[in-house]
Structure 1
Amino acid sequence: MADIKFEITKQIAVLSESPKGWQKELNLISWNGREPKYDIRDWAPNHEKMGKGVTLSNEEMDKLVEVLSTLK
């Protein structure tokens, strides 16, 4: 399996935390040196491990914010 490189360029929010200390976070992450994208996923303490998540472009994040604002 290829080595995946990432850099958390901006930590935006912790959305929740599990009893084991893993946190679901919203961050801006640069994957393999590319332009940072919005990313929602679970992280172990100190970001030493990550769970599955979803990565969104700026346009996708704008659409998500638009849709979520209609739900309340």
Structure 2
Amino acid sequence: MAEIKYEIIEKIAVLSESTKGWKKELNLISWNGRDPKYDLREWAPDHEKMGKGITLSKEEIIELKKGLNNLDSIE
């Protein structure tokens, strides 16, 4: 399997942390030298290991923000 290269350009938010220290984070990341995208996934404390996640373009993150702003309440 080819090595995946990444660079965390900007740390935006930590959403939660497990008892083992893994953190669910929203970051701006460049994957394999490509243009950075917004990325939501779990990371090991040293950022050497990661869980499955999703990447979003700027346009997609704007639409997600609009949708979240439209929520009346979260129960």
On whether the aligned pair clears a TM of 0.5, the verdict is yes
Residue 2 of structure 1 and its aligned partner are, at CA, apart by 1.5
Note the 1:5-20 alignment, pairs <5 A.
Answer: 5-20=5-20
- Bigger Rg, which one: 2
TM-score normalized by the length of structure 2 = 0.93
- Residue 39 (structure 1) aligned with residue 39 (structure 2): yes
CA distance in 1, matches of 2:30, 2:42: 16
Instruction: List alignment gaps of at least 5 residues for structure 1.
Output: none
- 2:63 is matched with 63
**Corresponding position: 1:26 with 2:12:** no
Q: Report the alpha carbon displacement of residue 50 of structure 1 after superposing the two structures with TM.
A: 0.3
The residue aligned with 1:53 is 53
Report the secondary structure of 2:59's partner residue.
helix
Quote the offset at 1:48 in angstroms: 1.3
Identity of aligned residues (%): 69
RMSD of aligned residue pairs (Cα, Å): 0.6
Give unpaired runs (5+ residues) of structure 2.
none
